[in-house]
Amino acid sequence: MLQSFVHYGIHFGLPLIIAVLFFKSYWLKAYGIMILGMLIDLDHLLANPIFDPNRCSINFHPLHSYFAIVCYVLLLIPKKTRLIGLGLTIHIIADTADCWLM
């Protein structure tokens, strides 16, 4: 239960906190864009089984690979891609926390 609380707290709570604190004038739009970072979980559809509670996603699924993570961090640099990069990086942080708590 703690693992789920931490995982989903990071997935949904951290983007909300960042949106409200740093993107006040358009926090809802910023939050929505960051939440779209969850779409990288579509790569779980390539795995067999699709969901394994004992599997760490980091460097297992293609969109969770170390190469992809470097790309997500690089998206933080340009202002135009910063919200997308934040959403993707927060997603990876949540999945990393999940791996540590397993």
Burial label for 14, CB within 10 Å (0-12, 13-18, 19+), is middle
Averaged confidence pLDDT in the chain:
95
Structure tokens at 26: 């358009």
User: Alpha-carbon distance 4 to 26, whole Å?
Assistant: 29
pLDDT digits (tens, 9 = 90+) for 48-63: 998 888 899 999 999 9
Q: Give the other-Cβ count within 10 Å of 81's Cβ.
A: 14
User: What integer is the mean pLDDT of 65-76?
Assistant: 98
In this predicted structure, what is the pLDDT of residue 5?
86
